[in-house]
Amino acid sequence: MNDQEAIALALQEAQAAAARGEVPVGAVLLSGEGELLARSGNRILEKHDPTAHAEIEVIRAAAAALGNERLMGTQLFVSLEPCAMCAGAIAMARVARVVFAAEDPKGGAILHGPRFFEQPTCHHHPEIARAGDPVAAGMILKEFFRARRG
């Protein structure tokens, strides 16, 4: 699976999360060879778990499936720039590459806020890349919150 296909799956997961009433963020985790290991969207409300972000969900699922807490060589595709909690999980799992579509100036922790992977206390620095249409990815979130306020 290539980057565009993977980010498209992450956006599908974001749409599915929105349909469940969750904040629409989706994630896909691939092996280094591009095989699908896990896919999910946010499940915070469903699980009554503030840590059930899409990224955490796919990291947990892949670690369980592989029987290893280290996800060396894997690639994480996310519809939105990961937050600080998710960046920490990405570092601890040793995900090799993180690809996201939309930036998150308020809650993102890779290009914004703490710039987690640039900190001297961060012991793992994944490759960071962008894929997909950031405007379309951002619109999923804007429409979701507009409907909530309306």
Write down the pTM of the prediction. 0.94
Contact 38, 28 (CB under 8 A): yes
User: Mean pLDDT across the chain, nearest whole number?
Assistant: 95
Q: What end-to-end distance do the CA atoms of the chain give, in Å? A: 38
Confidence of residue 147 (pLDDT cuts 50, 70, 90): confident
Q: Which residues line the annotated binding site?
A: 53, 83, 86
Contact 13, 30 (CB under 8 A): no
Domain residue limits, the chain: 3-131
Q: Which residues line the annotated binding site for Zn(2+)?
A: 53, 83, 86
Burial of 134 (0-12, 13-18, 19+ CB in 10 A): middle
The residue annotated as part of the active site, out of 13, 33, 35, 55, is 55
Q: Answer whether CATH 3.40.140.10 is correct for domain 3-131.
A: yes
**What are the E-state strand segments in the chain?**
26-30, 36-41, 75-80, 97-102, 127-130
| Residue 49: its H or E element | none
Relative to beta strand 75-80, strand 97-102 is: parallel
55 is catalytic: yes
| pLDDT tens, position by position, 14-64 | 999 999 999 999 999 999 999 999 999 999 999 999 999 999 999 999 999
Integer angstrom CA distances of residue 104 from 61, 74, 139: 25, 23, 12
Q: What is the mean pLDDT of residues 86-96?
A: 98
